[in-house]
Amino acid sequence: MADDQGRRAHTGRRRNEEAARAILRAARELLERGDGAGVSVDAIAAAAGVGKQTIYRWWPSKSDLLLDALVEGARGLAPAPDEGDLGSDLAAFLTATFRGARDPAVAAALRQVAAEAQRDPRAAGLLRSFTEDRRRVLRGLLERAAARGELSPAADLDLLVDQAYGVLWYRLLIGHAPLTEAAAAALAAALARQATASP
């Protein structure tokens, strides 16, 4: 567990990783229990039995903390399948992605970070790199299908990625429809039909 110790001389008390873990755990629990309302840093500190200063010693801002809680909650959902067929790969990936975003803590963190990104350029940058990572995974899946000759030459990979994640974010932030597995499967089928259709 102690792998990133600095190599320079270091005197004084060491940071307590247990405190950081307690903070992350409290953040996830509050995000999960939060009834649509935002989670405050004070509430996280109180729930973790920790001073606010300790939070800001580990994370530079609330958005960083929420994004960390997010990444931890979404762990294992990253890899894109590669079974050699666009339709099934896309269905598997979107189903897993929708399922991850349906987790209450993950959904709340995504929504709160997205909300803060509209005001705070720092949060906007964080969210942007997070989404870029996810885009790259899906784009890789599509590129493999294109290399196999499964896609129409008219297919626009970036637009396909926008359509997939667009539906996810749109439903997540507006809330007019749920992120069900059926919706993921239908979206995968629709995108595969579009990508393979001749212009």
Partner DNA sequence: TTTTGTCGGAACTAATCGTCTCGACAATCG
Partner DNA sequence: CGATTGTCGAGACGATTAGTTCCGACAAAA
Q: How far is the CB of 117 from DNA (least distance, A)?
A: 12
Cα–Cα dist 71/27, whole Å: 12
Closest CA to 119 of 39, 62, 71: 62
CB of 64 or CB of 156, closer to a second copy: 156
Cα–Cα dist 72/1, whole Å: 16
Q: Which amino acid is at 58?
A: W
H/E element, 112: helix 104-117
CB proximity list for 108: less than 8 A, separation 6 or greater: 31, 32, 34, 39
Quote the tokens at residue 125. 């940058």
Cα–Cα dist 18/16, whole Å: 5
Site for a second copy in 117-146 (CB under 8 A): 117-119, 121, 124, 127-128, 131-132, 135
* Residue 51 engages DNA in binding (rule: CB under 7 A): yes
Q: How far is the CB of 4 from DNA (least distance, A)?
A: 13
CB of 19 or CB of 185, closer to a second copy: 185
CB of 128 or CB of 148, closer to DNA: 128
CB of 76 or CB of 153, closer to a second copy: 153
By three-state DSSP, how is residue 3 classified? coil
- The site for DNA (CB under 7 A) is made up of 9-16, 19-20, 22, 37-43, 49-54, 56-58, 61-63, 120
- The site for a second copy (CB under 8 A) is made up of 36-38, 111-112, 114-119, 121, 124, 127-128, 131-132, 135, 154, 156, 158-160, 162-163, 165-171, 173-177, 183, 186-187, 189-191, 193-194, 196-197, 199
